[in-house]
Structure 1
Amino acid sequence: MSYPDSPADTADILLVEDNPGDVRLTEEAFREGQIKNTLHVVNDGVEALAFLRQRGEYAEAPRPDIVLLDLNLPRKDGDEVLDEIREDSDLEAIPVVVLTSSEAQEDIVQSYELKANAFLTKPVDPEEFIEVVRTFQEFWLSVVRLPPEDGN
């Protein structure tokens, strides 16, 4: 599947996040949204790349329509994951949105240099966090046309 065309279509979203509280808030925001989606969650960068490359326990994983990527991850950080995605011809077209608690200018610059499609800062307040995820969902899954799976 390439992108949601009709209400029956669902977007596959890969959330790469190691903070259980942020995972819960993201799941809650997507549940409350009006857009159908399937949220897949992995907790570190190594798992993210295994999911994307359909390796090991993720052999049957769907190709995500979009990746929500935290920067501060165990085993392989978000910058390393983003760099590997962009260097992989099979994955490079997948939109990646950095969703992180960092507001550091160098993190923002680095993410865009590594070709992130967007950089969102997680608010500390849970309600504001949910609103950021809802806004992401509305824009990326309703307004933007995502590339088809085969890149054409």
Structure 2
Amino acid sequence: MSRTSSDRSPDARGNRSCVICAPDSSTAADALLIAEALRERGHGRIIHRAGDGLAALEWLRAPVATRPDLIVLDLNTPRMNGWELLSELKADERLKVIPVVVLTTSAAPQDVTNAYQRHANAYVTKPANLADFEHAVRSIDEFFLNIASPVPRS
């Protein structure tokens, strides 16, 4: 898992953290766009990127990992797909309180339903247009990392 911010202490200055689970080269580019859009907001953001679902879960379950304030998840991840990761996250007592936003290319009604049945906090279909994509990411950031109150860290 890579870290795209040099700040190592998310709580020291009130920075909010986000995990982006993006698997392949096309969504890796999306992950970079997401990280850039979050940094442009001018708020302290610590972005962790996992290349696949299993890497994300391993990092989140590591004893030294600081619980993130948000997980942005693509459904098309190798080794452990997004559906499996979402189910694992919401079954884990420590991790189930983290909001999970599914950000994916699928607009299929069954995918939306399945995500909410697995307790996703939001389902966002990736816009094809870059400006619309950046707007969607900024809206996710605004709500989940600025407006909504996070679960207090213990």
User: Normalised by the size of structure 2, how large is the TM-score?
Assistant: 0.86
Pairwise CA RMSD of aligned residues?
A: 1.6
**Structure 2 CA distance for aligned equivalents of residues 60 and 126 of structure 1:** 36
- For 1:19-38, list aligned pairs within 5 A: 19-38=27-46
Q: In the alignment, what sits opposite 1:9?
A: 14
In structure 2, stretches of 5+ residues that fail to align are: 1-9
Where relative contact order (Cα < 8 A, 6+ residues apart) is larger, the structure is 1
User: Normalised by the size of structure 1, how large is the TM-score?
Assistant: 0.87
Q: In the alignment, what sits opposite 2:50?
A: 42
Q: Are 2:134 and 1:130 aligned? A: yes
Q: How many residue pairs get matched?
A: 141
Q: In the alignment, what sits opposite 1:99?
A: 103
Deviation at 1:107, TM superposition (A): 0.7
Deviation at 1:61, TM superposition (A): 3.0
**Runs of 4 or more above 4 Å deviation:** none
Deviation at 1:63, TM superposition (A): 1.4
Deviation at 1:82, TM superposition (A): 0.6
| 2:69–2:145 Cα contact (<8 Å) kept | no
| 1:16–1:42 Cα contact (<8 Å) kept | yes
Q: What fraction of aligned residue pairs are identical, expressed as a percent?
A: 39
**Structure 2 CA distance for aligned equivalents of residues 34 and 20 of structure 1:** 22
In structure 1, stretches of 5+ residues that fail to align are: none
Cα deviation, 1:8-51, whole Å, max 9, x if unaligned, reads: 41011000012221112112211211322101000101001001
